[in-house]
Amino acid sequence: MALDDPIVWILIVAVVLILFGASRIPKFARALGEARKEFTAGTQGGTQPAQAVPPPPAPVQASSGSQTLTPDDPLYAAAEKEGIDMRGKTKSEIATELAWKLSKKTQ
């Protein structure tokens, strides 16, 4: 039996599933990937910067001056998801454009 035999690989996979269980295998693979990334970064002298967390989106100032859309506003999230440009628009204009887009989507 050689390692290029498919029966050998099926047996190996079956033994691994029996020993570790199906729920622990993804965790194990994820841990291996993270360890590999750390090892690679360490061997390169740590010259790679850590991944920066992007800053939260800035609030969009509506043109009326008194209405500000913030990222936690459901209207903001829905408009962003649909790709609506919110700069210089009031909440009602954004809501109207969102309703129009969604009605076109369902037709």
Side-chain half-sphere exposure of 104, counting CA atoms within 13 A: 7
Question: Does the pLDDT at position 27 exceed 70?
Answer: yes
Q: Are residues 39 and 72 in the same domain?
A: no
Q: Are residues 38 and 64 in the same domain?
A: no
pTM of full prediction above 0.85: no
Provide the 8-state DSSP code for 72. T
45-62 average pLDDT score = 62
Q: Are residues 67 and 100 in the same domain?
A: yes
Question: Does the pLDDT at position 62 exceed 60?
Answer: no
Tell me how far apart the terminal alpha carbons of the chain are, to the nearest angstrom. 60
Mean pLDDT of all residues belonging to the chain: 78
Please check whether residue 15 lies inside any domain of the structure: yes
**What's the number of domains the chain is made of?**
2
Provide the 8-state DSSP code for 66. S
Please check whether residue 48 lies inside any domain of the structure: no
* CA–CA dist 66, 79 (Å, integer): 19
Question: Which of the four pLDDT bands, split at 50, 70 and 90, describes residue 67?
Answer: low
Please check whether residue 85 lies inside any domain of the structure: yes
Please check whether residue 97 lies inside any domain of the structure: yes
Task: Write out the residue range of the structural domain in which residue 71 sits.
Answer: 60-106
